[in-house]
Amino acid sequence: MKNYSILPQEEKDALVAKARDKGFQTETDYGNCIQSCLIGLREAFPDIGITEDMIRGSFGLAGGCGCSLLGTCGALSGAAVAFATGMVAEMIVNGELK
């Protein structure tokens, strides 16, 4: 997995903008916060391990879980899923996890 922390600030900002813009457009077009978040992050950071199956499987967490509009927004849940996926991928690459 690419070490994004060593990139110049301009490149980091561009990646964040890419994720934000793709996520916003996906939310605008399809209205699913968790899938929009994951799609945006996958677009900007393709090597963190977000798969099509993860995106499909996350549907039920939209809108606070089951589109109930109660609880944690799916975008926050999506960010947590992406963060955990990236951390696990990095741990595997570093031999810390098998």
Question: 45-89: per-residue pLDDT in tens?
Answer: 998 889 999 888 888 888 777 666 777 777 888 888 888 887 777
What whole-number distance in Å separates Cα of residue 34 and Cα of residue 94? Answer: 28
What whole-number distance in Å separates Cα of residue 36 and Cα of residue 18? Answer: 12
What whole-number distance in Å separates Cα of residue 26 and Cα of residue 21? Answer: 9
pLDDT beyond 80 at 95: no
Q: What is the pTM of this model?
A: 0.78
Local confidence band at 3 (pLDDT 50, 70, 90 cut-offs): confident
What whole-number distance in Å separates Cα of residue 29 and Cα of residue 27? Answer: 6
Ordered alpha helix ranges (H), 31-73? 33-44, 52-57
pLDDT > 70 fraction of the chain, expressed in percent and rounded: 94
Instruction: Determine phi and psi for 75, rounding to 5 degrees.
Output: -65, -40
Provide the sign of the torsion angle of the four alpha carbons 20, 25, 27, 28, taken in this order: positive
